[in-house]
Amino acid sequence: MTHSPPSKPAAKPATKSFDRSIVEGPVVAAVWAVAWPTVLANVIGGMQGLIDHALVGHLVGYAGNAAVGVSWQIFLVVITFMMSIFTGMGVLVSRYTGMGDAEAVNHASYQGFIAALVLALVVLAPAGWFLSPALLGIVHAAPEVKAQALPFLRTLFLGSVGMMLGFMIGGALRAAGDARTGMRLGISMTVLNVTFNLILIRGLGPIPALGTMGAALGMVSAATLTSAYGLYRLLKGGWVIHWHSGMDRSFDWPMIKELLRFGMPAGIQGVAMNVAGVMLLRFMGSLPESGHVQAVYAVGYNQLFSFITWTSVGLMGAAAAVAGQNLGAGKPERSVQAVHAANRLGLMIAVFMGVLFLAVPRFLFGLFGMQDAESLARGVELMRWLAVSGLLVTTALTYSGGLTGTGDTKGPMFISIISQIVIPIGLLETLSASTALAPHHIWLAIVLGHFARATLSIWRFRLGKWRSIKIAARVTA
């Protein structure tokens, strides 16, 4: 009598299974499950920017705050376009996840990784180094601001690979329904960033105080270390996305074209938004009190208002992931419900923050070392406008998330061009030709742009053209 050899215990799967509650369970719970880790990571990550501004403001002064704000605005114009390919990756990953095709998810995310490497190392780093002086000249940065901003901006461009890969990893995991891992990576990067910046901005022992340059070095170092760990885990396995040894890792041009088909409109949208920001800085630079106004904008809009945009961007990502997965699963009505749920959550947060902006604006600006009467007066004025804008921005972002996640990236592109450039910049050009510009003219232009973006985003989503958007055939295992 022969005996068959004992069977080996089943190997532990190298890839986590998809969270099917996103396409099968309660919609509000699905949105919240994806949203809260992203929102928390954004808020904690944004705190790093607050700490940077506070340290730089106390050590360098308003010129340091203005330099950080101006540099970030310029950097975002460029990197947002480059990162558009991750929007296309997110559309495909969420759809394939809804279909339950793990190999397609792995393949699409890996092609996003290849694109990120090429764009960061071949395009962003060299071009950014040489073009930084000219870019700072476009926004009319004051001499004392430009002196602080140039090394900061060049460092961001040279270290952009870490940030690009970080966005790619977090975006892919969130689109696949795993926002918690991206949250842990984001928090880890923030802890490293704050640690590095506390040392490099202020100095410690033999390390001299580097001021704004220290903030840039801390940022790129933290992003690079965190992204390296993320890549290691994607290769090792255990996450919902796994670049296993048996998958095809060659350059897949047809897939890259799919990423670009959905991503390029999002890139143009991002460029339009950030070009508008640069043009606003240019108008600010033409004011008699330009340094103070740019510093107030850098702190009030780029930092304090970010408490609303951080949460809204997190909800936008959740709306995109949940709407995209449900469309992939053939459940478009759940996609609609997901966007509405995300918007309601965002409005509650925007109302809370708006009350704070109206109640304690001087205290908030004082946290960044702004104590002079001119800056505080401009800051109080700005926060009144932003208290209203918060409601509009969160509505615009959540509905844009629904459009983008389902593949309608062209709609938000046209909406952003109209609402972020045509309306606000057109208004300021008209006013500057007929009267002397004042800060409140710029704040008005910002709010009108946000109103147009919210209104048009709701209208576009309700048209429902996203329901019929198709993606490329799935990749077989």
* 272 occurs within a structural domain: yes
Question: Is residue 2 predicted with pLDDT exceeding 70?
Answer: no
Residue 445 vs residues 275, 329, 417: alpha-carbon distances, Å: 15, 41, 14
The stretches of 237-289 forming alpha helices (DSSP H) are 253-285
Residue 72: closest CA among 139, 125, 127, 122: 139
Whether the CB-CB separation of 255 and 396 falls below 8 Å is answered with no
Domain that holds residue 170: 27-466
Q: Output the pLDDT for position 23.
A: 92
Q: Which residue has the higher pLDDT, 57 or 390?
A: 390
* 366 occurs within a structural domain: yes
Calculate the average pLDDT of the chain: 86
Q: What is the pLDDT of residues 164-193, one digit of tens each?
A: 999 899 999 999 999 999 899 988 998 898
Q: What is the pLDDT of residues 429-447, one digit of tens each?
A: 999 998 889 888 999 999 9
* 473 occurs within a structural domain: no
- For 68, the token pair is 């950080």
The rounded distance, in Å, linking the Cα atoms of 18 and 326 is: 13
Q: At which residue do the structure tokens 């360098």 appear?
A: 60
Average pLDDT over residues 45-58: 67
Q: How many domains does the chain have?
A: 1
- Give exposure, 50-84, as e/b (b: 16+ Cβ within 10 Å): bbbbbbbbebbbbbbbbbbbbbbbbbbbbbbbbbb
* CA distance from start to end of the chain: 40
Q: What is the pLDDT of residues 230-288, one digit of tens each?
A: 999 999 989 999 999 988 888 888 889 889 899 989 888 877 877 787 788 889 888 88
Q: Output the pLDDT for position 223.
A: 92
The rounded distance, in Å, linking the Cα atoms of 322 and 62 is: 42
* 8 occurs within a structural domain: no
Q: Pick from 18-27, 133-142, 294-303 the range whose average pLDDT is largest.
A: 18-27
The rounded distance, in Å, linking the Cα atoms of 86 and 230 is: 16
Question: 27-31, 82-86, 124-128, 254-258: which range is least confident on average?
Answer: 82-86
Q: Pick from 14-23, 74-83, 378-387 the range whose average pLDDT is largest.
A: 378-387
pLDDT over 70 for what percent of the chain? 92
* 9 occurs within a structural domain: no
- With vertex at residue 282, the alpha carbon angle to CA 314 and CA 59, rounded to the nearest 5 degrees, is 70
The rounded distance, in Å, linking the Cα atoms of 167 and 89 is: 11
Q: Output the pLDDT for position 477.
A: 40
pLDDT band at 476 (very low <50, low <70, confident <90, very high): very low
pLDDT band at 474 (very low <50, low <70, confident <90, very high): low
Q: What one-character-per-residue DSSP string does 294-312 give?
A: HHHHHHIIIIITHHHHHHH
Q: Output the pLDDT for position 222.
A: 92
Question: Is residue 125 predicted with pLDDT exceeding 70?
Answer: yes
Average pLDDT over residues 337-342: 96
Q: Which residue has the higher pLDDT, 96 or 270?
A: 96
Q: At which residue do the structure tokens 């694109």 appear?
A: 115
* 21 occurs within a structural domain: no
Q: Output the pLDDT for position 269.
A: 84
* 19 occurs within a structural domain: no
Q: What is the pLDDT of residues 348-364, one digit of tens each?
A: 999 999 999 999 999 98
pLDDT over 90 for what percent of the chain? 45
Q: What is the pLDDT of residues 293-328, one digit of tens each?
A: 888 888 888 778 988 988 898 899 999 999 999 999
Q: Output the pLDDT for position 49.
A: 65
**Residue 421 CB neighbour total at 10 angstroms:** 17
* 335 occurs within a structural domain: yes
Question: 51-65, 206-220, 309-323, 371-385: which range is least confident on average?
Answer: 51-65
Q: Output the pLDDT for position 295.
A: 83
> Which residues partner with 38 through β-bridges?
none
Q: In a 10 Å sphere around its CB, with 0-12 CB exposed, 13-18 middle and 19+ buried, how is residue 321 labelled?
A: buried
